[in-house]
Structure 1
Amino acid sequence: MTNPTPVIEDAHAQAVRVLEIEMSGLVARFRQAMRDSAECLSPGLHPGAYKTFATIALRGPITSSALAELLFLDKSLLSRTVRTLEELDLIERTPDPTDGRSSLLSVTASGRERLEALRATHRSPLLDRLAQWPLEDVRRLAVLLHALGTGEQPGLYEDLAAERLAAESAGPAGPAGLGDAPRDPVL
């Protein structure tokens, strides 16, 4: 006679599985928010192009090579995306003063105005979802997500916040480095 009791997973493995399921749902909601932001910025704009634009807005001026590395994109795909963003007058290329063979990508005045209008009309879904959370829980989540993304052990919120906010205010030349994930200016 067989035992009808299901095999119980190791508690850690089970918790990781639940986390995977929850992250899958979170990624789907994030993708929808990206689609919505892209559509509001320019009807018909691909969400990937929106992410590229948002990253240029945050980190620019930036070279195509650095942008491709930052976003983990193939250079040919990025080239087509950049061309689309240029045609929409969202970004522009200027010669790189440090490397004559390269150009820098930056947001145009029109692109900046459109991004600001988008920010003004679209409140961050993340801010809405976390509005009622205790501050310490939000801080701990930030630390845990950083640790998960980098493979490091969770550290202190103050250290993470100081590093991220310094990198954000410093722009492309700041201490953020290419390995850091860009923050979407709208989400």
Structure 2
Amino acid sequence: MTDNTQADAAAEEFSPAAAGSASSDVPRVAPTENVVSAIAEVEEQMGVLFGFIQSNVRAAALAIDPALQPFGLKVLRQLAKMGPLHSSVLADALFVDRSIISRQVKQLQELGLVETRSDPEDGRARYVAATDEAITRLAAIRGSDKLVIFSHMNSWPEEDLRTFAGYLKRLTT
């Protein structure tokens, strides 16, 4: 592939339509070969970071219950953060189909980590809520599962941490 063809492909890849950008009035220019290379480096390091986080999530899930799947931990964390939720709201918050939530809720109920409650507004609807036991177990691992990231970043200057957080926010919004 020639340099021009690479640049053309990169420009097409980074077009607002391809990137899902809502703003079509933001001018986009074809990235240089150096920018494409730098983005590839970012992607590689993010892959390493995601693997690291995935490993920590598995360990945290096992610490709560050996039968708990990593996605079940994500469900528990969301319920602990937001309180009782309808399954549809929980599915939307976690970007998954409601059928996935149904299966997870069933498993989490069997483990005694969630319960369902009737919606006082609509008796047919049900809320999913983390049990007191789940909240206790989450609190017990909170320090340990965040300690790994903390131990890697606690020596960074505050300005670097805030800049990094800003870049992550910029990437995800």
TM range (shorter): 0.7 to 0.9
Aligned to 1:65: 88
Structure with greater Cα Rg: 2
Q: What is the CA-CA distance between 1:22 and the residue it aligns to?
A: 0.5
For residues 32 and 114 of structure 1, what CA distance do their matches in structure 2 show? 19
For the structure 1 residues 42 and 21, does the alpha-carbon distance in structure 2 shift closer, same or farther, using more than 3 Å as the test? same
Moved more, 23-32 or 124-133: 124-133
Q: Which has the higher helix share?
A: 2
**Aligned-pair distance for 1:69?**
0.8
* Residue correspondence of structure 1 range 57-136 to structure 2 within 5 A: 57-136=80-159
Deviation for aligned residue 1:120: 4.9
Q: Alignment length, in residue pairs?
A: 144
Equivalent in the alignment of 1:46: 69
* Superposed displacement of residue 123, structure 1: 4.6
CA distance 1:20–1:122, shift in 2 (3 Å) = closer
Q: Give 1:126's aligned amino acid.
A: I
**CA distance 1:124–1:63, shift in 2 (3 Å):** farther
Cα deviation code 1:103-123 (max 9, x no counterpart): 111111111121222225545
TM (norm. structure 1) is 0.71
Percent pairwise identity: 34
Secondary structure of the equivalent of 2:102? helix
> What whole-Å deviation, never above 9, does each CA across 1:133-157 have from its counterpart, x for those lacking one?
000111111111011011xxxxxxx
Alignment of structure 1 residues 29-44 onto 2, 5 Å: 29-44=52-67
Structure 1 unmatched ranges of 5 or more: 1-6, 151-187
How far the C-alpha of 1:98 sits from its partner, in A, is 3.1
Q: Does the CA-based 8 Å contact 2:57-2:70 persist in structure 1?
A: yes
CA contact (8 A) 2:116 2:128 kept: yes
Aligned counterparts of 2:128 and 2:62: Cα–Cα separation in 1: 22
Shift of 1:18: 0.4
Question: Does the Cα contact within 8 Å between 2:86 and 2:126 map onto a contact in 1?
Answer: yes
Q: Name structure 2 gaps, 5 residues minimum.
A: 1-5, 7-31
TM-score, normalised with respect to structure 2: 0.77
Name the structure 1 match of 2:46.
23
Aligned to 2:169: 146
- Greater relative contact order (Cα 8 A, min sep 6): structure 1 or 2? 1
Q: Kindly indicate whether the alpha-carbon contact (under 8 Å) linking 2:83 and 2:129 is maintained by their aligned counterparts in 1.
A: yes
Name the CA shift for 1:15/1:90 in 2 (closer, same or farther; >3 Å).
Answer: same
